[in-house]
Every structure is written in C-alpha cells, then in structure tokens.
Structure 1
C-alpha cells in the first residue's frame, strides 16, 4: 500500500450505524410538515431507497413537496429550511448512533502496519454535526484521534455524488486525491470518489446478501477488516 496516502471514509452507514436515527428523523420531520403522511421510519428506507445518503433537500423535495402544490420558489425555500430544522431537532433529541464494531480495531491495525497512512472523514452532514456524532458517548473515545480531519458538507460544498467534500478533505490533510481511497456505503459515495479522482472506491456492505452489488465502487467488502485486502487485490488486478 506504498502508493496510498490516505483512507477517506464516509460517516453515516459506514462508520456509524445511523439508519434508525436518519429514518426516524426524516419521518418525524416529514410528518410535522404534512401530518396526513403518517410516515413510519421503516418506510423511509423501503419507499425511498435512492435518497439514503443524500442531502436533506432531496428528502424534502421527494417526500414533502408533492403535498404542497403551488408554492413559489421562496415558499419552497422556506419549506426546505423548516424541514431541515425539524430534522435537526429530531436528531438532537435522539439517542447517539453507535459505531460499527469493526471500525476502530480495523483502523488501529492499519495504522500500526502503515504508520504514515492518514484517515479522514468526508460526509454529507455539516462538519459541526459530524464532529458531535463522532465524539458522542456511543462512539469509542479512541476513534476520533485516529482521524486527521472531519470534513462535512458545509455551505458552498455541493453534496455527493459531486466530488467537493472529498476534494476539500484531501486539501486540508495535504494529500493528492489520486493517492486516496474512499470507503462508503452508497452509490453516491462511489460516485463522489470517482468524480474526485480517487485511486479506488470501496463499498461496505455488512449484509452478506448484498455483496454482489458494488454500487458503482471498484470493490465491495463485508467489514472494515477487508479494506487492506481489497486495495491489494485491486492493485494486483489493475
């Protein structure tokens, strides 16, 4: 892995098991906007699978906006802002999302074997929210110090699959994006990695039934322990 400078990681669904938190907050926010929806958290993933991992604006436009016909552009903007406000209120009041069991030990092993290798996070959430999530009581204290930088999709940064958040992250930690891999769990993640010019994109699918679907990535793994072997296998085949 001598040509690899950094492993950049998605956060929600990759490092943190946020499925319940995300879907519950989206459903609650949508129901506050349109009470007649009566949307259940499990329906968010089953009925809108393509939205998972995307920006909140898309959740609003797909779930809420059809129930608010005739809005002006300014009213749509206000509606989106209210939805995001409700979502963040729900997240703030929810239990912290736990870290997947394999993450810390896998990163510690990689760091011990490759001391110069950097780890960083590039996520759809705003940086401030991401930092809070990664330092919550549900996440091991040893994880955040392993991460050289946490880059969120803040104002002025286009959401994935645009490459902006990855390029910003690589710039901050001072590495060539072409010498990084991006590890995520959605097609938006692999799309962002390709658009940024990452050396390789990896999809984590902890559900073994999904391992045949790379979601557009160069490789698919079942847990973080597979990062090193995926990179080595990709280099051999390239």
Structure 2
C-alpha cells in the first residue's frame, strides 16, 4: 500500500534489496529463545513473544533490555550480550522461517531476471550461517552484513556497496526493511524505499511517519513493482 502522497511514477527496478530480520525472515522466536535462556540462567522470569518480538530487529542490547526491564541498567551488559549472542549462534535457525509471501516474491524476481540481495546490520558471523540455513535465500546476488564495511545502517554506504557489487544504479534499486534506519539508509543512498509492515515495526503510525515511498502490508505487494 503506497503512502497517501501523490503517486510515484512507475519505474522498472533492476534490483530489490532486503533487510533480513523482520523483512525476509521471522527470526523472533530464535532470538527470544536465546533471550529466555539468558534470563533463566540469571534467575529472571522468561518473557513471552509480545515482549521480545518488538525488539527483535534492534540488536542484542535491546532484546536484553526488554527482558531485564528496569534491572538492565545495573547488569554486566557486555557479559550478558555475549551470553545471548553465543546462545543464539548455537541455535540460529531452529524456528526461523521466511515470512508468508517472501518465497513467492523471490521466485518471481528470479523469473523476471531482477537481481535481489540482502543488506542487514546483523554481523557476518551470524548472517552467513543463517542465510545458508534458509534454502529460499540461495539465489541472493549479494549478502552484506553490518560489519562488512566500517559503517552500518542508517549509513547509506552498505546499500551503495550492494548496488556496486550488483552492477546497478542506486536509483533503480528498491530497498525494503522494517526499521526506521532501513528507510533512512535507502533514502540517503538514492533508492526507493518500502516499509515491511509485517515485520517488527513499533506501530503502524510510527512506521508511516518514516515516509517510505511505499508501505507494504505483505511481501505480495512487491508484485506490483516487478
């Protein structure tokens, strides 16, 4: 669903680029399981998905803060982050799967000979085994992680690097993500942007305020742009 602004002229995209967690993949339950393992190990009550899911795109610190709540500021944060990351890395794809409609969109892009790739702020040592564990992602033209370059999103540099590797102009790329930093990075890179409203957004109203070029209710909305 597009924003309520004037319709954008239709263009032919040479490439789609996607965020990973909360856009292509529903990773929340594996992240939540890692969080709960750390909480239990520290004699804190585990939390339900309605607590960890909104924090799933925001990194280990945000997840732990959601779990420890008001106790977080007094905790050995670096040590707990390492515990969570180690737990997650050991169980990285037990429950993770593509969101409904993602695989159909990727197949359609392949059939149309439109390149697609992944740019995530997840570090490479987690990104690479996760992507390898999901067969639907095997045809990605590029997979760029948050530590591939010296800067991560909201910097536009990783997205510009993706476009360079794929041999396409940024203005002919569409970047899809579920966080404000995704939209900021895409716009700064000169790409069109789409918010994945099915992802780990804080609220529909807040996601609309990011002023993406498009707000997609489902990955199937991507079919309108290929």
TM exceeds 0.5?
yes
The aligned counterpart of 2:119 is 122
Tell me if the contact between 2:163 and 2:169 (Cα under 8 Å) persists in the aligned partners.
yes
Shift of residue 16, structure 1, vs aligned partner: 0.8
The aligned counterpart of 2:220 is 225
The aligned counterpart of 2:181 is 188
TM-score by length of structure 1 reads 0.72
Shift of residue 6, structure 1, vs aligned partner: 1.1
- Matches of 2:156 and 2:48 in 1, distance apart? 29
SS at match of 1:171: helix
The aligned counterpart of 1:89 is 86
Tell me if the contact between 1:21 and 1:97 (Cα under 8 Å) persists in the aligned partners.
yes
When residues 165 and 31 of structure 1 are mapped into structure 2, their CA distance, relative to the original with a 3 A threshold, is farther
Tell me if the contact between 2:154 and 2:184 (Cα under 8 Å) persists in the aligned partners.
yes
Tell me if the contact between 1:17 and 1:98 (Cα under 8 Å) persists in the aligned partners.
yes
Shift of residue 99, structure 1, vs aligned partner: 1.4
Tell me if the contact between 2:174 and 2:193 (Cα under 8 Å) persists in the aligned partners.
yes
SS at match of 1:147: coil
- Matches of 2:64 and 2:153 in 1, distance apart? 17
For residues 162-202 of structure 1, give each alpha carbon's deviation from its aligned partner in whole angstroms, at most 9, with x where no partner exists: 3233233223223222221111112222122122221x111
The aligned counterpart of 1:26 is 35
- Matches of 1:158 and 1:17 in 2, distance apart? 25
When residues 4 and 88 of structure 1 are mapped into structure 2, their CA distance, relative to the original with a 3 A threshold, is same
Pairwise mapping of residues 114-193 of structure 1 onto structure 2 (< 5 A)? 114-115=112-113, 117-136=114-133, 139=134, 141=135, 143-154=136-147, 156-193=149-186
The aligned counterpart of 1:202 is 194
SS at match of 2:162: helix
Pairwise mapping of residues 46-65 of structure 1 onto structure 2 (< 5 A)? 49=54, 51-57=55-61
Structure number with the higher helix fraction is 1
- Aligned residue-pair number: 207
Shift of residue 43, structure 1, vs aligned partner: 6.0
CA RMSD of aligned residues (A): 3.0
SS at match of 2:141: strand
Mapped pair 1:9 → 2:18: yes
- Matches of 2:32 and 2:158 in 1, distance apart? 23
The aligned counterpart of 2:74 is 67
When residues 109 and 3 of structure 1 are mapped into structure 2, their CA distance, relative to the original with a 3 A threshold, is closer
For structure 2, the 5+ residue unaligned runs are 1-9
For structure 1, the 5+ residue unaligned runs are 69-75, 233-238
